[in-house]
Structure 1
């Protein structure tokens, strides 16, 4: 079966070089490396798989809902209560603010201006991602796929620096994660399609939350989270 072509706007938005600030974050893997839980491609893949099926699914569903017709401020509250760690809450809002700033330059749209005015301190990153995706003409499925992919690509990219991981091995990890990323995106879209914010996934990862709080107190670190 021939697949439909990918909208180039999705490639721009999902590109790690898009100035949305994600390059400064490891997705929790810096803490995992220091704790000895991640030390090679195999353990990195296991870490990413866990992250994808928990916080990755939750974020992807929020993005899919925001790319649809759901009020982003309602979703922002939903994101807040799904993020127990104060450090991760603050980071998510910083990333959301940076993403919105970049998107307003790339895809000027009244919806982006309204969100900027309603949440001057920054809305949560997955919610902003969904609103930006809609402004760029993308679908909820596009938004969910990009956010699910980001949940694993960030840690994998970080480990090239943290572990000196061979970039070819890193690429192979991402390639193996592609099918589960697609499956998580489909699950996220199905949850968002209900139109009920209370039915969106609430999956979390307590160890990531605890590690984020500890990481925030490190005097020296490579990544913000």
Structure 2
């Protein structure tokens, strides 16, 4: 369900940065359409890898025994934090602090304000959907909060029983298919060619999954940047005529 392009989370309003890239010349005049596949591959190596890692970490921070509610030992990593919590800090507060730290780590690796805003807007849409379909999500995240999309996806993944590999693959596939789907609206693309680009990204997606799925430490989140994608996003945010929000 989470990988379905019809999911009402605002994904149809996003092009994963392809629209501003096209404005900047990608696939100009239909002569370099293969650049779309390379653009999606570059995202998988940089910004998408960061988001997938953050989603995996968010999943990791949700207690494994969901039926029992937030478990103090499951959301703390050391005796010092456990002692602090036992001394009076509620488990929910510990978890909220962990998610705040994770969002700060994500924001530090996402320098574009436009990209951060778009991600939080999508996160809010995912959270609204989760409230209806997977209400247990609200045990770990505030209702209608503007939280980075990968964090919301990670928590939903934990609540629905997805593995770390499945969460990472979901983020990677969703990003790649967003680029490919947007190309059909922005460029003179043969739909069969678009499907071929997506299929060709399979190995890149699986490499991303293998790299980020084992992560349990915030400090290990990758920090590969894509300055042109950031620049395109900032320019796109002030465009008066645009098809996609970002």
Same fold (TM over 0.5): yes
SS in 1 for 2:52: helix
Q: In structure 1, list runs of 5 or more residues that go unmatched.
A: 1-11
Q: CA deviation at 1:55?
A: 0.6
Q: Is 1:50 aligned to residue 42 of structure 2?
A: yes
Q: CA deviation at 1:202?
A: 1.2
User: What root-mean-square deviation, in Å, do the aligned CA atoms of Structure 1 and Structure 2 show?
Assistant: 1.4
Q: CA deviation at 1:150?
A: 1.6
Aligned residue number for residue 156 of structure 1: 180
Aligned residue number for residue 176 of structure 1: 200
Aligned residue number for residue 29 of structure 1: 18
- 8 Å Cα contact 1:85-1:209 kept in structure 2: yes
Cα distance in 1 for residues equivalent to 2:108 and 2:138: 23
SS in 2 for 1:103: helix
Q: How many residues align?
A: 208
Q: Deviations over 1:36-61 (max 9, x none)?
A: 12344411111111111001111111
Q: Is 1:74 aligned to residue 101 of structure 2?
A: yes
Cα distance in 2 for residues equivalent to 1:72 and 1:141: 20
- 8 Å Cα contact 1:29-1:158 kept in structure 2: yes
Distance 1:208 1:62, change over 3 A: same
Aligned residue number for residue 94 of structure 1: 121
Spell out the pairing of 1:213-224 with structure 2 (5 A cutoff).
Answer: 213-224=234-245
Among 8, 24, 38, the residue aligned to 1:19 = 8
- 8 Å Cα contact 1:38-1:47 kept in structure 2: no
Cα distance in 2 for residues equivalent to 1:107 and 1:85: 31
Cα distance in 2 for residues equivalent to 1:100 and 1:137: 17
Q: CA deviation at 1:112?
A: 2.7
Aligned residue number for residue 5 of structure 1: none
Aligned residue number for residue 114 of structure 1: 140
Q: Deviations over 1:90-140 (max 9, x none)?
A: 11110000011111211120x4343125xx541100111100111111111
- 8 Å Cα contact 2:57-2:217 kept in structure 1: no
Q: Deviations over 1:52-86 (max 9, x none)?
A: 10011111111111111263332112111111111
Q: In structure 2, list runs of 5 or more residues that go unmatched.
A: 63-97
Cα distance in 2 for residues equivalent to 1:126 and 1:45: 23
Aligned residue number for residue 135 of structure 1: 159
Cα distance in 1 for residues equivalent to 2:51 and 2:179: 15
Cα distance in 1 for residues equivalent to 2:41 and 2:175: 9
Cα distance in 1 for residues equivalent to 2:121 and 2:8: 13
